[in-house]
Structure 1
Amino acid sequence: MSGVYDQGSSINLSASPNDGYEFSSWSGGISSNDNPLSFQLNSDIKVVANFSEVDLNSDIDNDGVKNEDDKCPDTPLGFLVDENGCQIKNEFDNSFSLVWTDEFSYEGKLDSTKWHHQIIPPNNGSWHNGEEQHYTDRIENSSVSDGNLKIIAKKESYDVNGSIKNYTSARLNSKFAFKYGRVDIRAKLPSAAGTWPAFWTLGTNINEVGNYFGDSEGNVGWPMCGEIDIMEQSTNKSETLGHFHWGDVNNGNYGNYGDKTSIENASTTYHIYSLIWNNSSMQILLDNKVFLTMTNTQSVPFDNRHYLLLNIAMGGNLGGTIDPNFTQDEMIVDYVRVFQKN
């Protein structure tokens, strides 16, 4: 823009960038970041509009969504976002946002960046609690298809270093650990007598052989690490159990607290099994209804990071007598989601 104007004239300039550029400043006779720019003309003056090229791939909040598409450009670190760059809220309580998930929207083997198969028997060639299976990392015992994780318990002879069991299954550790938040797992459970399905957590400081975290975050035994049972089923398939196990941090004494609630069609209908955990309490829920609450105090070890475990055991303390005609059964998991407060 150029022209001849009377001294004292009021001038208004507006800079419009072309595609791929943005206005940055005025220079020359006037230095300003205002756009539009207004001033009074007192003498001959030259004003230059400066533009800078826009990086179309820039991502100011590092959430994986480019700035030009990001409708929520201030997402805190650690939260997952949708295609608009906005936090993904919990369907039951929007004060929680998603930080980790497996939606099982792939086929074949489990995502090895998210899951670890725990397969080394920690109890002299066997597993604890009188369980009668070996756990494997074979696709025959755990796989993903049709949008679901399937953990499959099978009757078969299986040898691990000379220890022979008559059943196989899978025991998964999440490679993600967290302190406080909400966990939702939507699943169908096995129905056969003798199956013992569980969704649970252990402290990452446990020294159990073969688990994912090893001694990287501590080296204590069970129950000093703390255990949270979000879902277990015993011989009664019309109930689901929630339970807390711990060692008192002051004296090492074992403590536990649990309860059960009724459930209908656990093997044919999806239900949502949940944990809500903060620094003052822990709640276990079935289909978003709380049935167990425990106070979180200084004396219990529930202020450290925990990881998730998903498995089907066979027989043992809760599984009970295995059906002599058992051949195989499965647990079908639609999703596993971990949320934390916004």
Structure 2
Amino acid sequence: MKRILFLMMLLSSFCFSQNSKLKLVWEENFNGDKLDEKVWNFELGNGCPNNCGWGNNESQIYTNKNHFLKDGNLVIQIKKENDIYTSTRITTANKKEFKYGRIEARAKIPTGKGIWPAFWMLGSNIKTVGWPKCGEIDILEYVGREPQMVYTSLHTENSHGNTINSKKTKIPNIENGFHLYAIDWNKDKIDFFVDNVLVYTFQPNDKTEDVYPFNQPFYFIVNVAVGGNFGGLEIDDSIFPQEYLIDYIKVYQ
């Protein structure tokens, strides 16, 4: 086991040495007193009528009130009030979209059964070709029903449903404090990292659009869902309120 960890650290160090030539091209540090709506869009409601439950039978309603900026962090609050779960979901669609590079987010996740925070990306052509043909990159997903586990996944035309391009990694301290979630993304592969340790690589030989739709711009999504097919139908109401903190998002190219 020690040898495996050592080899992983060496591989991570090699990857980061390759990144030394990259330059910071965009960062969001959440240092203001409110979200910059020149960068961020709010997605509101429960997804109805076209995508009720946001496609996953989720229980929350998204608002533009369940967040604030404090001490350089975006804070998303997840609440239950009068039998209604509320949260926030924001995107950079049509405002900040990127093709390739190293992408990082430093975040502190909420915890508890039924909670489902995420930091992810969708292809900018989603309105033209639909999902999953547009592609989806899940840099961070955590579900409270599985403590100490982090999911890093990809959805494509030929791999949605059972999500065959996915890795679940056990990280014992993941619920404690802030952690760094990142990808290195190019025309051939996507490497996923947690705290600078490589946890998953997607590098298919077949680069057709249905297998690797990742040769186009993608935009960011930050949200916390409650319940649902992946988050779990059992929700522990005693955990609310919860908070999801994002310190920063950075893009290097």
Alignment TM-score, normalising by the size of structure 1: 0.62
Structure 2 residue 39 is the aligned partner of structure 1 residue 114? yes
In 1, Cα distance between equivalents of 2:149 and 2:75: 21
Which residue identity is paired with 1:170? T
Answer with 1 or 2: which has the greater Rg.
1
> 1:196 aligns to what?
116
> 2:3 aligns to what?
none
After the TM superposition, which segments of 4 or more aligned residues of structure 1 sit over 6 Å from their partners? Answer: 252-255
> 1:319 aligns to what?
231
Displacement of 1:220 in angstroms is 1.3
Which residue identity is paired with 1:171? R
Structure 2 residue 86 is the aligned partner of structure 1 residue 168? yes
In 2, Cα distance between equivalents of 1:92 and 1:270: 25
> 1:336 aligns to what?
249
Q: Is the 8 A contact 1:143 1:150 kept in 2?
A: yes
> 1:11 aligns to what?
none
> 1:134 aligns to what?
61
Structure 1's unaligned 5+ residue stretches are: 1-89, 158-164, 208-218
Displacement of 1:237 in angstroms is 2.3
- What does the per-residue CA deviation read over 1:268-294, in whole Å, with 9 as the maximum and x for residues that have no partner? 311100011100101111011111111
Structure 2's unaligned 5+ residue stretches are: 1-15
> 1:287 aligns to what?
195
Displacement of 1:122 in angstroms is 3.3
Alignment length (residue pairs): 227
| Secondary structure of residue in 2 paired with 1:325 | helix
In 1, Cα distance between equivalents of 2:77 and 2:141: 16
Q: Is the 8 A contact 2:43 2:90 kept in 1?
A: yes
Q: Is the 8 A contact 1:246 1:256 kept in 2?
A: no
| Secondary structure of residue in 2 paired with 1:152 | strand
Q: Is the 8 A contact 2:80 2:237 kept in 1?
A: no
Residues 253 and 199 (structure 1), Cα distance of their counterparts in 2 relative to 1, 3 Å cut = closer
Q: Which has the higher helix share?
A: 2
> 1:233 aligns to what?
142
Displacement of 1:123 in angstroms is 4.3
| Secondary structure of residue in 2 paired with 1:94 | helix
Residues 123 and 301 (structure 1), Cα distance of their counterparts in 2 relative to 1, 3 Å cut = farther
**Relative contact order (C-alpha < 8 Å, sep 6+): which is higher?**
2
Q: How does 1:1-342 map to 2 (within 5 A)?
A: 93-107=19-33, 109-124=34-49, 125-138=52-65, 141-157=66-82, 166-174=84-92, 175-207=95-127, 219-234=128-143, 235-248=145-158, 256-295=164-203, 297-299=207-209, 300-320=212-232, 321-340=234-253
Q: Is the 8 A contact 2:59 2:226 kept in 1?
A: yes
Residues 155 and 92 (structure 1), Cα distance of their counterparts in 2 relative to 1, 3 Å cut = farther
Displacement of 1:264 in angstroms is 3.1
| Secondary structure of residue in 2 paired with 1:127 | helix
In 2, Cα distance between equivalents of 1:245 and 1:144: 31
Q: Is the 8 A contact 1:233 1:318 kept in 2?
A: no
Alignment TM-score, normalising by the size of structure 2: 0.83
Residues 229 and 154 (structure 1), Cα distance of their counterparts in 2 relative to 1, 3 Å cut = same
| Secondary structure of residue in 1 paired with 2:38 | coil
Which residue identity is paired with 1:129? N
Deviates more, 1:290-299 or 1:185-194: 290-299
Residues 284 and 98 (structure 1), Cα distance of their counterparts in 2 relative to 1, 3 Å cut = same
Which residue identity is paired with 1:226? G
In 1, Cα distance between equivalents of 2:89 and 2:67: 9
